[in-house]
A and B are shown apart, each in its own frame.
Chain A
Amino acid sequence: MSAFRLTNDQWLAKLMAAIVPGALLSLGCMAVLGLFCHASGDARSVSAQFLMWFAIVGWLALVGSCFLFRSGRRAWAMLGGGALVVWGLFVILAKVIMV
């Protein structure tokens, strides 16, 4: 274990990473999960409401834990990369399901 000391020097970058790509990541997870449970997108349905809760709770969890990243750049890379992967997965899965 390296002797890394966590500081809040880059708090703004970390927080913004959790808020912007973090939101995209949690929405992406919601989208993939929605495909698996055949969500209809109708806000009154149970699945849509559970997915909404999932997305917001996930986002809050990211906001709460983003300060544990070693640096702001790392936070952006991980969360942004995660968002890209998840949304890519969604596009591929959506194509597969549509066919």
Chain B
Amino acid sequence: MKLRADIVQAYRDIHSWVGILCGLFLFVAFYAGSISMFEQPLQNWLTPATPLPSPVNIENTPELLQKALAEYPEAGRHYILVINPDRAQPARLMWPQDPTHRGHGPQDFMLAALSPDGKLVTAARRPSEIPFFIDQLHEQVGLPLPHTMARYFMGCVALAYFLALVSGIIAFLPALKKMLFAVRLNTGARKVWLDLHNLLGFFSLPFHCVIALTAAVFAFHEPVFTVQEKLFQSMQGVGQSAAHGHKAPENSKTRTEVAVVGKEMPLAPALLLATVQQQAPGFVADTLEYTAQRGKGKSGLVLRVAGHDARYPMRGATNGFAMVDPASGKILSTDYLPGHQSRGLAVLTAFFALHFGSYGGLPVRWGYYCLGVGGAFLFYTGNRLWILARIRREHSATTLSRQTRGTWVLSCLMTGCITGCMAGIALLFICAPFLPLGGTYGQASALYYAAFVLCMALAFSLGERLREPVLFCLAGLVNVAVAPVLLVSALFTGSVTLTGLCTAAITLLLGTFLLYSVKRSGCRIAV
């Protein structure tokens, strides 16, 4: 592949500048994102057990529902039946305390169960918010900004990221054949970083392209949809007002029908699940979400069955869903039902699933975890290269062995940001067992940003020789400390879970790696 030398040079410059601009944000986004691949199991593990009686059988759900609705009529507006209750969703029946709350993330739920003598027992609570906080770190590239602002900022980072990918490909292409498998580990530090950067970047390129595209879509889809609405709906309004006029009486007819027929009892959940199972074999329902809506069907309820199917890509991060008729169990809309979508929607869903890793079940999630951590490491190597190249250029340009202010600021930012992010997240896992309710969003952000700011402050106040060893030691020690803390707390509470063990093992590994890298490069860092 031969490209004009000036184009390659131009894109090489763009690559290094764009890379250094977005590298640190991307590091946080990828590191937190790889952890949020396991948001659900983490939430399940970090949420303390509830004192409620064990959930009723799925066959007895109608009895529970009847008693709950008699005591709490407002629950009828919006309630959720959980098929497999776990710690994060510990009751068979739950309803949000604020039915108007439509945002994502944990919210206060009323949980309902039946005591052995058949009495209704309720409790109000929300699951642990630490995993959600980590997911927000991922979505907002680590910045504590209001959600909308953070999303557009993330969009700009995604734009820069895409540009870095394109320019990286163009800059790397001419030398591809020569350099791809040549990892020169025993040469100078710069060459090692460069070869690792190239190797990692090349082999995770498809993943990075998908992530950059989808991230840009997540950030900017709203304004584009607004433009479409303005453009096409006004035209439809002129051209097809007749169609709208035709629709209106139909609506009013169903509304009067509801008033006349009154509320028909929805199908019992066990029966409903069997009916759905028949229509969509392989789809495993997780929740049945009922919402009261005027003029919808005979029962006045809309039912959304959320669930998963490891054989197909899913639209959401953990599930797809079907709209189901609550009275008959007939699937009304398969638009987002995995494996039953129309071709167009299936293609669109595939893009989302490629970002979320929501296909193929657990192995794919672990694969995405590795790709995410690998991506974070890629950005770290990129930043390292940038700083090494700057120092080298400055050394050769002047006889003074002092680096410029810009290089100094960037090396402080890089070390502070990376160690701050890793130490902050590890600190969350250390503190989680001791926080009531498994930690609220406020507590999580206070802990994380305290660690982050501390590392940043240390990075800027420590001298050149001490900065990296001290900070990497700190991040390594915090990570190593996660395992014993989790072990002790698990012994005290008597509940050892697979998620807890995995977290302990991974943080231990990461911490050891960080400490080892300090030990190994101790002589090399001191320039």
Contacts and interface: CB of A to CB of B under 8 A. Distances in A.
Interface of A: 5-8, 11, 27, 30-31, 34, 39-44, 46, 48-53, 55-57, 60, 63-65, 67-68, 90, 94, 97-98
Interface string B154-172: 0000010011001100000
A31 B231 contact: yes
Contacts of A97: 235, 239
B211 to A, nearest CB: 13
Contact of A8 (B13, B166, B238): B13
A46 B224 CA distance: 14
A29 to B, nearest CB: 12
B225 A60 contact: no
4 nearest CB pairs, A to B? A41-B232, A64-B166, A41-B233, A46-B344
B220 A56 contact: yes
B525 interface: no
Interface SS majority for chain B: helix
A8 B6 CA distance: 10
Interface in B157-212: 159, 162-163, 166-167, 212
B380 to A, nearest CB: 24
A42 B231 CA distance: 11
Given A43-B225, A52-B221, A57-B213, A63 B162 contact: yes
A40 B14 contact: no
A57 B209 CA distance: 11
B467 to A, nearest CB: 32
Contacts of B124: none
A68 B6 CA distance: 10
Contacts of B335: 44
B4 A41 contact: no
A29 B144 CA distance: 36
Interface string B325-369: 000000000010000001011001001000000000000000000
B132 interface: no
Given A30-B224, A31-B231, A63-B163, A6 B348 contact: no
Contacts of B7: 6, 68
A2 B437 CA distance: 70
A72 to B, nearest CB: 14
B162 A27 contact: no
B348 A46 contact: yes
B235 A56 contact: no
A68 B163 CA distance: 13
B228 interface: yes
A73 B235 CA distance: 36
Nearest to A15: B163
B225 A94 contact: no
B163 A48 contact: no
B348 A34 contact: no
B10 interface: yes
A98 B238 CA distance: 8
B70 interface: no
Contacts of B162: 60, 63-64
Contacts of B228: 30, 34, 39, 41, 43, 48, 51-52
Interface string B12-43: 01100000000000000000000000000000
Most chain A CB neighbours (cut-off 10 Å) among B10, B13, B167, B342:
B10
Contacts of B221: 52, 56
A10 B162 CA distance: 20
Contact of B216 (A8, A39, A60, A90): A60
Contacts of A31: 227, 231
A50 B221 CA distance: 11
Nearest to B239: A98
B11 interface: yes
A65 B10 CA distance: 11
Nearest to B218: A56
B126 to A, nearest CB: 29
A43 B230 CA distance: 11
A65 B159 CA distance: 13
A90 B232 CA distance: 11
B227 A27 contact: yes
A55 to B, nearest CB: 5
A77 B9 CA distance: 25
Contacts of B232: 34, 39-41
Contacts of B230: 41
A18 to B, nearest CB: 10
Contact of B6 (A5, A55, A90): A5
Contacts of B233: 40-42
Interface in B113-157: none
A97 to B, nearest CB: 7
B217 interface: yes
Contact of B213 (A11, A30, A46, A60): A60
Contacts of A52: 217, 221, 224-225, 228
Given A48-B225, A60-B216, A98 B344 contact: no
B452 to A, nearest CB: 30
Contacts of B217: 52-53, 56
Contacts of A46: 342, 344-345, 348
B236 interface: yes
A28 to B, nearest CB: 10
Contacts of A49: 345, 348
Most chain B CB neighbours (cut-off 10 Å) among A5, A65, A98:
A5
Contacts of B351: 53
A74 to B, nearest CB: 15
Nearest to B12: A8
